[in-house]
A and B are shown apart, each in its own frame.
Chain A
Amino acid sequence: MRDTWDSFVKFFVSLKLTVSLLALSIILIFAATLDQVHLGIWAVQEKYFRTFIVLWPVKGFPVPVFPGGYFIGGLLLVNLVAAHAYRFTLSWKKAGIFLTHAGLILLLVGELLTGLWQQEYQLRLDQGQTRNYSESSRDNELAIIDATDPQWDEVVAIPEKRLAAGEPIQVARLPFRVVVNAYYPNATVQMRDQLPNAPAAPATRDIGARLALIAMAPTYKENERNLPAATIELFGPEGSLGTWLVSTMLIEPQTFDYAGKTWRLALRFKRNYQPYSITLEKFSHDRYTGTDIPKNFSSKIHLRSDDGKTDRDVLIYMNNPLRYDGLTFYQQSFANNDQTSILQVVHNPSWLLPYIACLMMGLGLVVQFSIHLFGFFAKRRRAASI
C-alpha cells in the first residue's frame, strides 16, 4: 500500500511528467492550428482544447486519438500543485518562484473556468427597438411556450444537444412528451410547391406539412452559423398529437391548442433573458471625411432595469463596452445599411483571472531576479572587502 502511494506521489510530482505534458501540448496546439483551416476557431476549441480526449472519425465512428486540452492542462495543474506541496519549504529566497508558479496555477484555473463559465451572446437591435434578451451566437434551443396567460409566457427551453441526443423528453410542466423523430444540425427549408420533385412533407402539423426539408453539411466558418432543424412528435396520454417541423429558419413560432391551453413551438437561437431592457436609440458609423474608411462605430443605447433603479443612456463604442450586471456589451458589428447594431454580450465571471495571473507571474520573476541580483551584489561586496 505504501509503495502504491509512493508511486502515486512520485508520478504527480515528477518533472518528467511536466516535460511530457508540455511536449504533448505543443503537438496538440500544432495539430489544432492546422485543423483550424477546416473547422474554424470555435469548433477547434471544442474539438482539441475544451475536451478530455480528441476524437477522430474513422469510418464514421469517433476514435480517441490524443489527449485533449482539459486532460493535458488538468494534469499540468495537478503536477504543478503536487510538486509544490511535496517540495515546499518556506523560504524568502524562493518567494519569486512561489509567486510565479501561483500565477501559472491561477492562469490554468482561469482558463478552465473560462471554458466552463464563459457564454457569448449577441444582441441585435434595429434603431428604436427594445429587447430584454440576447441570443447565443452558436447554441440553439427548442422553446415550448405556454402562451395562455395574456400577460406572461411560460417558457420551457430545451437545449439543442438534447434534441441531437434523440431521447424522448419529458418535462413536468408539459402535458405531453416530446419525441425527436429526426434532427438535422444544418438544414434549409423550402415550400414544397416550389420545388420540382419535392420530397415528402416532414411533418403533419402547421407549416411543416407544406415544407420540404433539405439537409445541408454543417458549416465551420467563423462568420456563418448552422441552422438546425428537427421533426418532433408530441405524445399526450391519448397518443400522438402530430408531428411538427421546427427550424431556426422559421421565425414565427407555430401555435396549437392542447389541454385547454395555447402552446407555441419554436426552434430558435438560445435566449438569455435579463431583468433589464436595452433600447437602441442611435447607431453611428462615422467615416473619415470624403472616404468610406470607417472611423468609429458607436451605439447610443438606453438601459432600463425592471426594478427602476437604472434608467440611463449609455454610449457603447470600440474598446468602450458597457459592463452591467455581470455582462459585458461590446460593439461587434452592424447591418442593414447602418440601421441595425449588433452587440456582443459576454458573460465571463473569471475574466479578471488571466490579468491577475500575468501580474503575479511578472512580479514573481522580478522578485526572483532581484533576490539573485542583490545576492550577487552582496557577494561581490564581501569579496571586495576581503
Chain B
Amino acid sequence: MFLRSFLPVSASLALLFVAGCRDEKIATYRVPKETPPVIAPADSPASMAALPADSTSPAADPGPLTWQAPAAWTAKPLGPMRKGSFLVLGTDGAEADFSIVSFPGDAGGLAQNLNRWRGQLKLAALSPDELSAAATPLAVGNLQFTVIDFAGQGATGPTRILGAVLTLPDQSYFFKLMGPDATVESARAAFLDFLKTVKTR
C-alpha cells in the first residue's frame, strides 16, 4: 500500500524537480572597454576617500522626497547611491559640490555625522550639547531639518560646509553644500531656498 502511494508521488516530484531546476552558471563574455564612471566627491556618512558610494538605500529607489533645485545649479551624474548631485558655481567661477544622500536609520547618530563633517574641515569634534547649540532647526512643512554651517580648512584653502540633516522614521537624509568658503557663502540663500522645496512624495 505504501509503495502504491509512494511511487506516483515520488515520480511526479522527480519530474517537477527536473523541470524546475534553475542553474547559476558562471558567465564569460567580452565587452567593449567601459569608460570609468564620473565619480562624485566622497561625502557620505560613510565618507570614504576612494569610495563614491554614498548610501545603503537602493540605487533604483527615488526615495520618499522630492525637491526643486535652483536653475543656476547644474545637475551632475549620480554615483549610483546619490539621491541628488549638483554643481554650484560661485560668482568668481569657483565650484562647490551639493549632494543629497540617504542612509537607513539614524546613520550612526546626528552628533557623529556632524563631527565627521567637522573632521573634513579639520575642525575639532564637539560634544552633542555643543553641536545642538551650533545647529539651527528649520521647519519646512512637516519636515524638521537640522541646519549647520561649519567653516574650516580644506585641501585647497578655507572651506565651508552648509549642511542639513533630515531624520525620517526609517532613514536619514544628508544635504551638503561643500566648497570654497566664499562660494558656499554666496550660495547660502539658494541653499536655504532649496531646503524649502523639499517635500515628501
Contacts and interface: CB of A to CB of B under 8 A. Distances in A.
Interface of A: 3-4, 7-8, 11-12, 52, 70-71, 74-75, 78, 112, 116, 122, 124, 126-127, 129, 132-133, 135, 137, 147, 149-159, 161-162, 169, 171, 173, 188-191, 194, 207, 211, 216, 219, 223-225, 227, 247, 249-252, 269, 273, 292, 332-337, 339-340, 342
B47 interface: yes
A269 B60 CA distance: 11
A273 B29 contact: yes
Contact of B36 (A70, A219, A252): A252
A249 B51 contact: yes
Nearest to A160: B24
B46 A190 contact: yes
A192 B170 CA distance: 25
Given A52-B17, A158-B26, A335-B62, 18 more contacts: A52-B20, A112-B19, A124-B59, A126-B75, A153-B34, A155-B28, A162-B24, A162-B26, A189-B48, A190-B47, A194-B116, A194-B119, A216-B56, A249-B46, A250-B51, A251-B51, A252-B52, A292-B199
Interface string B59-100: 111110011110000010111111111100000000000000
B58 A223 contact: yes
Interface of B: 3-5, 7-9, 11-13, 15-17, 19-20, 22, 24-34, 36-37, 39, 46-53, 56-63, 66-69, 75, 77-86, 104, 116, 119, 199
A156 B26 contact: yes
A151 B32 contact: yes
A83 to B, nearest CB: 14
User: Is chain A's interface secondary structure helix, strand, loop, or mixed overall?
Assistant: mixed
6 tightest A-B CB contacts, nearest first = A74-B16, A249-B53, A225-B58, A339-B75, A7-B4, A159-B24
B15 A159 contact: no
Nearest to A127: B75
A52 B13 contact: yes
B16 A52 contact: yes
Given A249-B46, A340-B78, A151 B33 contact: yes
18 contacts: A70-B20, A78-B15, A116-B20, A147-B33, A152-B31, A153-B30, A153-B31, A155-B28, A156-B28, A157-B29, A162-B24, A162-B26, A194-B47, A216-B56, A247-B53, A249-B56, A336-B75, A336-B83
